[in-house]
Structure 1
Amino acid sequence: MTERRSAHRRTEVLSAAGEVVAARGADGTRFTDVTAATGVGVSTLQYYFGTREDMLIAVFRHAAQRDFDIVGERLAALTDPWERLLVIAGHLTGAVGSETAWRLWVESWRWALRDSGVRADVLGDYRRWHELIAAEITAGGFGGTAPPMDTARLILALIDGLALPVALGDPGLARAAARDLLADGLARLLGRRTPPL
């Protein structure tokens, strides 16, 4: 029971630490910042994670898995591949909900440039998203001559391209506009007719 409580508390701390990293950036986040946000002492954070860098890597991994879990829960209620693709894409762009996850994704990219372990994690996450999107393309029998994995790569590139301005709060790209552009782009890539925006 105590181990379960400790694991649950560690998960809560990771979620709260993610909010801190999203707000302050990974380079600006210290144990004391997470302590201020959680009430968990520095010594407990060191016990949970070891070093500050290990805590940040754990935050990135937790956030990435949380995104997969959230999307998985939403997909469980849907059967239409087009609707499922829109859910995946909408979540990943931050066009729906909070952009905290996307800010953490950007921070993990930055760390991946100089840390081979984080790089492997980020590339593994991309692979998982590509596979998920490609599976929906296959299930939907969407048109196009490109292999589903190639189309999935293009879709994720489109998602990333729309997500960054949303995460940065670009006044020229509201969430609703990003969502509409995304749906239009997906329809074009998949050879699907959609009503004009």
Structure 2
Amino acid sequence: MRRSAAKRVEVLAAAGEVVAARGADATRFSDVTAATGVGVSTLQYYFGTREDMLIAVFRHAAEREFELVGESLAGLTDPWERLLAIARHLGSDLSWRLWVESWRWASRDAEVRADVLADYTRWRELIAANIEADDPMRVARQVLALIDGLALPVVLGDPDVDRAAANELLEDALARLLGRSPAL
């Protein structure tokens, strides 16, 4: 990777932290400059507009999550174990905060909406490929709903749904959904 491309990736990661902390609407080039030491003119060179920077942040975060899940799946061959690895991933608080911000933008921006929907398609396809059921895509949609529904209280700090509780609930729900004995 060329040095400038590597620096752009570093800036995207740092900008993601700023967006997660401040929210997309409140994030400015100057905030990212303060966090990275990279000048506003360099940010404009990398991204063009602030909106383009935010879209790039969302895309980068989504790709990074796919990479991380791919790493956790490496070496796993059993579909059930692969499905559990996907469900347990849940992502970091940072990645979920960025995901929520991308949902907010997607509700108003057709380009971001297309990206978010494409990401959902990728997640559904990955999950469906590891489901042994009559209609794996339907079950994959249900699995995504479970993951999204449990990740939000985790990110918000719900004392009754920490990561361990969310993983336990996910495993139990997946087992029931797929006709396996729940691990209680």
Fold match (TM-score > 0.5): yes
Whose RCO is larger (CA < 8 A, sep 6+)?
1
Cα deviation, 1:125-156, whole Å, max 9, x if unaligned, reads 0000000000001xxx3x5x4x1000000000
Offset from partner CA, 1:63-109 (integer Å, 9 cap, x none): 00111111111111211211111111111x34xxx211111000000
Measure, in 2, the Cα distance between the counterparts of 1:87 and 1:102. 17
In structure 2, what is the Cα distance between the partners aligned to 1:194 and 1:80?
A: 17
Equivalent residue runs for 1:17-166 within 5 Å: 17-91=15-89, 93-94=90-91, 98-137=92-131, 141=132, 143=133, 145=134, 147-166=135-154
TM-score by length of 2: 0.96
- Number of corresponding residues: 184
Cα distance between partner residues in 2 of 1:195 and 1:65: 32
Measure, in 2, the Cα distance between the counterparts of 1:89 and 1:111. 25
* 2:171–2:183 contact (8 Å) kept in structure 1: no
Q: Distance in 1 between matches of 2:125 and 2:103?
A: 20
Find the aligned partners of 1:128 and 1:174 in 2 and give their Cα distance: 26
| Distance (Å, rounded) in 2 between the aligned partners of 1:171 and 1:37 | 31
Instruction: Give unmatched runs, 5+ long, in structure 1.
Output: none
Deviation of 1:174 after TM superposition, in Å, equals 1.4
Residue 164 of structure 2 is matched in structure 1 by 176
Runs of 4+ with deviation above 3 angstroms: none
Q: Distance in 2 between matches of 1:181 and 1:195?
A: 10
| Unmatched tracts of structure 2, length 5 or more | none
Over residues 148-174 of structure 1, what are the superposed CA-to-partner deviations in whole Å (9 max), with x where a residue is unaligned? Answer: 000000000011110110111111211
TM-fit CA distance, 1:48? 0.3
Q: Percent identity?
A: 75
Structure 1 window deviating more from structure 2 (82-91 vs 35-44): it is 82-91
Quote the offset at 1:195 in angstroms: 2.7
After superposing the two structures, state which structure 1 stretch, 186-195 or 112-121, moved more.
186-195
